[in-house]
Amino acid sequence: MPDVLLTHGYFLADDEKEREIMKPYPTLGLLYLSSYLRRAGFDVELFDTTFAERRELFDRLEKSPGVVGIYTNLMTRRPVLDVLAHAKAHGWTTVLGGPESANYPEEYLGHGADVVVVGEGEETMADLLPALARGGPHRLHGVAGVVFRDEAGAVVHNPERTQIPDLDSLPWPDREQIDQQRYVDVWRTHHGMGSVNLITARGCPYKCKWCSHAVFGFSHRRRNHLDVVAEVEHIRDRWQPDQVWYADDVFTISHRWLFDYANELERRNLRLPFETISRADRMMREEVLATLARMGCYRIWIGSESGSQRILDAMERGVTAEQVQWATKAAQRHGIQVGMFLMWGYDGETVDDIAATIEHVKKSNPDVFFTTVAYPIKNTSFYHDVADKVVSTRSWEEGTDRDYVLRGRHSRSYYKQADRWLRGEVDAFRLETEDPETAALRRAEALAARDAMLGLAGEVEA
């Protein structure tokens, strides 16, 4: 029996949408926990559910119970509850970690979790495992960063754990414990490019109101660029991917770091194409974009969210629409594609704001863009701002924070038409010179969508 079995609740087989996209990545948090705990002398088993069937995990849980640690995020509540129930029924002590359980510790304790770890998991787990072995799950008062029930059944929130100051003290993610090659191969089969994910930093100091900071707070810690280069070199030699994905929150947050990193990659003749995410205001230098291009960045994702400065300010995004337009054009000039995320239905958004977003997308003209309807993640400032309007459309057990709707906000059909309006206008704009006839058709469709949207203005989602 291992000291801990680490797993999660994401099953590709159950994710129809992702099975069309087929760009899976392993959960780095679990891989970091595994390598840290193994280095500290613990016996760790890792059950990666991504390519598994539920039954396979359940079969494992039916044998030799001990401590199971489960990663949670916003989308996997239902499967995690099922895994918890199964684990409890077979005698396991259950520990949860990750952003979702940090937001709902009481709820998870009420559904079979013995302990919820809040924040970074490495040091907390290394303290928690011996404490569980010594005194069981109800005497954990000395373990910082956990929530549990004491012997009287009262929920105890221990003080927060101090964040790991030096990320270079951590071993690299334990990719050897999972079938990393399978991820690379799936990518290669479906996209012609094998890919591996890694992070160069933890945490984001910005305060965009809808963004969850449940794990790393507002800290920002970076790894030494030499350590990251060494990890990339190892990844290249071991799994031979065609590209990597830097899964940081804001990859270009530190320009000094970026330049040092790029120089070291170059010095070692290490050029792996990559995609990543950043903020427009941290891309406002030709030198940054030239460096990204030189390093092999082929696509950068920008959270643009809205083209209305009023809404951007309400979100406390700290970016202007003009910055996004400049950064998009400038990145493209350097041969980097731009992907843009946009959000409809933020609190206070009007038709004029939607129109401003459409004009903004036309002006920026990103290579690809995606829209979502804003949803309040628990414990974010957005959630607190709209708390009196938040309505759950499903029971807590069956839903996710994405199922929250806002009383009085326009219906989903309204935002579907906003989407059609946007896409029609952007297509028309792009076709204007080379195919004016189709452009005119697309513009007519866009205007029809706008009228349909206005016709739905009286419909609310709750």
Return residues touching ligand SF4 (CB under 6 A): 204, 206, 208, 211, 249-250, 279, 303
Is residue 349 a contact point for ligand B12 (CB under 6 A)?
no
Is residue 73 a contact point for ligand B12 (CB under 6 A)?
yes
Is residue 144 a contact point for ligand B12 (CB under 6 A)?
no
- Phi, psi of 147, rounded to the nearest 5 degrees: -120, 135
Scanning 208-216, 228-236, 250-258, 412-420 for contacts with ligand B12 by CB under 6 A, the matching segment is 208-216
Q: What number of CA atoms fall less than 13 Å from residue 210's CA on the CB side?
A: 22
In whole angstroms, how close is the CB of 255 to ligand SF4 at the nearest point?
16
Contact 26, 50 (CB under 8 A): yes
The only residue of 79, 98, 194, 307 in contact with ligand B12, by rule CB under 6 A:
98
In whole angstroms, how close is the CB of 292 to ligand B12 at the nearest point?
18
| Contacts of 455 by beta carbon, 8 Å cutoff, 6+ apart | none
Q: Look at residue 461 and give its three-state secondary structure.
A: coil
Is residue 307 a contact point for ligand B12 (CB under 6 A)?
no
When the beta carbons of 77 and 225 are compared against ligand B12, the nearer one is 77
| Contacts of 442 by beta carbon, 8 Å cutoff, 6+ apart | 424, 425, 427, 428, 431
In whole angstroms, how close is the CB of 253 to ligand SF4 at the nearest point?
8
> Which of 50, 272, 79 lies closest to 177 in space, CA to CA?
50
- How many residues line the site for ligand B12 (CB under 6 A)? 38
| Contacts of 457 by beta carbon, 8 Å cutoff, 6+ apart | 351, 410, 414
When the beta carbons of 228 and 428 are compared against ligand B12, the nearer one is 228
Q: Residue 69 class from Cβ within 10 Å (0-12 exposed, 13-18 middle, 19+ buried)?
A: buried
Contact 308, 348 (CB under 8 A): no
The residue with its CB nearest to ligand B12 is 97
Scanning 151-159, 207-215, 229-237, 441-449 for contacts with ligand B12 by CB under 6 A, the matching segment is 207-215
When the beta carbons of 200 and 364 are compared against ligand B12, the nearer one is 200
CA angle 413, 360, 452 (to 5 degrees): 25
CA dist 341 and 362 (Å) reads 14
279 binds, among ligand B12, ligand SF4, none (CB under 5 to 8 A by kind): ligand SF4
149 binds, among ligand SF4, ligand B12, none (CB under 5 to 8 A by kind): none
Q: Which residue ranges make up the site for ligand B12 (CB under 6 A)?
A: 10, 25-30, 32-33, 69-71, 73-76, 95-100, 103, 117, 120-122, 125, 197, 199, 211-212, 214-215, 247, 249, 372, 377
